[in-house]
Amino acid sequence: MSGDLTTLQDAIEYQFRSSAHLQHALTHRSHAQESPDEKPHNERLEFLGDAVLGFVVSERLIDRFPSYAEGKLTKIKAYLVSSANLVKVSQELDLGSYLYLGRGEELSGGRGKKALLVNTLEALIAAIYLDGGLEAAAQFVDRAILTSEAVALADLNFEAENYKSTLQELLQGAKLPAPAYRIAEEAGPPHRRTFTVELLVGDLFRATAEGSTKKAAEQEAARIALEHFRKALEAPKARSQRQHV
């Protein structure tokens, strides 16, 4: 371990009553196996931390989005507790610097392994829960994981997936060609890129849309296509209904 645990506690904004809880969360199996006194490793804490994280995120989303259906809440939660999101949090906290690793794991770059960092973050959540209770763990999750930016991105990712999947299902049901997306243009400086996406549905429809990310641009293109095809497919039904009146 190269990091000072006092610095880590400052970073997570939680001071442990028992340093043993924190050390337990940071101890990898490889270190425990090499230790003569058989120190406990953090795998059992990972299990507990995963459950605490899932509960807190579910409770917070229910409170924050009272009008959202279960399916939408589930997908937003899935993003927030995903490895992709948790590894970013772990890297921001520099958890790798504080790990107790065995020699072999150290030499193989264990401090930077994504799966190991995610597991350690979950173990840390469990350690805070055991040391200070559910409210302390929930406050850490709020600060580190449920940031306004992360929740907004999770919500955006759901919408992007929702428009695209809905369009796919609509076209498939109407026996029309599947949509195809391609990046038509990238512009702007690296810190403020703009992406232009072109969407094609065979020779029937073409749309272009811009966004600050590829997903956002694809979302907008799919939304435009959905609006077009819903109108196009509903028009014959409306005419048929009028003819039968």
Edge-to-edge strand list for the sheet holding 180-187: 180-187, 194-201, 205-211
186 catalytic residue (yes or no): no
131 neighbors 36 (Cβ within 8 angstroms): no
4 catalytic residue (yes or no): no
Q: What is residue 238's three-state secondary structure? A: helix
Main-chain phi, psi angles of 198, to 5 degrees: -110, 130
Main-chain phi, psi angles of 209, to 5 degrees: -150, 155
Q: Of 46, 122, 131, 155, which one is the catalytic site residue?
A: 122
The CB-side HSE value for 27 (13 A sphere, CA atoms) comes to: 20
Q: Of 50, 131, 155, 218, which one is the catalytic site residue?
A: 50
> 45-55 burial by CB neighbour count: b if 16+ within 10 A, else e?
bbebbbebbee
- The residue type at 127: A
> 198-213 burial by CB neighbour count: b if 16+ within 10 A, else e?
bbbbeeebebebebee
| Distance set, CA 200 to CA 53, 134, 169, 218, 228 (Å) | 41, 50, 15, 11, 13
Catalytic residue numbers, as ranges: 50, 122
